Structure 1
Amino acid sequence: MAHFVLPSLRYALAGMALALVSHSVLAQPLSVENAKVRAVPPVSTNTAAFMVLHNRGDSDLAVVDARSPAAEITELHNHVDVDGVMQMRRVAEIGLPAGGSAELAPGGLHLMLIDLVAPLHEGDEVEITLVLDSDETLTFSAPVRRIEVMGGGMSGKDSGQNGGHQAH
């Protein structure tokens, strides 16, 4: 009888584990679109990542940290006007209201990749992990693109979409 109970117990445990994993994936409705990392000259040690974050859920979310194997340090940043001079500042979080979005773009919110571990070339893919206030993470790849700023927006070779990523 133990011969039949053990496989059944294994299936039950596997089913419970799958249910927990599925719940974690579905519980966090964060998605990323149009992610890209700015191409910089090979001598540059820092770059920035841009994207649109969507919270398709009923509860507010916040991105509280980020990391990437492409850089020693990855930080959440914003540009702020200090006495008429735009300055880049680290921020503690990027809030996403329920049903809302946040655009990370040149001249505004963005991710800084500091002390790159190797030069990045246009067309490379950079792995980025966002950490939410719930300790859940969202890992995705962003292509390295040349990004030109025109009127505060993004243009040039940056129209590719990298959507459909779900937190897990």
Structure 2
Amino acid sequence: MEKLIEQFSLGLFFWQLVLFVVLVLLLKKFAWKPILDAVEKREEGIKGALESAEKAKLDMQNLQADNQKLLKEARAEREEMLKEARDIKNKMIEDAKGEAQAQANKMIAQAQSAIESEKKAAIAELKTQVANLSIDIAEKVIREELSNKDKQEKLVASMLGEAKLN
């Protein structure tokens, strides 16, 4: 350090100082200003990007809320459609059951009617056969009874005895 003080020259110091000041002025004009402008532009760009990101974040939140709302509405609509489909299905089943029951009742009534008419026809047929058999038997019995003169007189007498006069 002593050596520096001994070799100190005022002229050299002055020119170094002048060159330093000129260098600082030149740097200020040609280097610092463009560097500071670039830094400022970059800062504004970052600030704009942050604002855009914040805006995008808010838009995204709004979109998510809208999506949730739409999803909720879609689910409600789907549930409503499923409920309507179930109601229609149940109504169709009930209608089919009612129609089947009505058809079954109609078929049962027709069957009962057919059975009743068949029964009446069978009874009429049976009565006709019984009447024919009775006539045939009576005819044979009467022939047998009337073929003998003594038996005829006994029959007439017994019938007269059974007959009551009013």
Tell me, yes or no, whether TM beats 0.5.
Answer: no
Between Structure 1 and Structure 2, the one with more helix by share is 2
Give the TM-score normalised by the residue count of structure 2.
Answer: 0.23
Which of 1 and 2 has greater Rg?
2
Greater RCO structure (CA 8 Å; 6+ sep) = 1
Give the TM-score normalised by the residue count of structure 1.
Answer: 0.22
Between Structure 1 and Structure 2, the one with more strand by share is 1
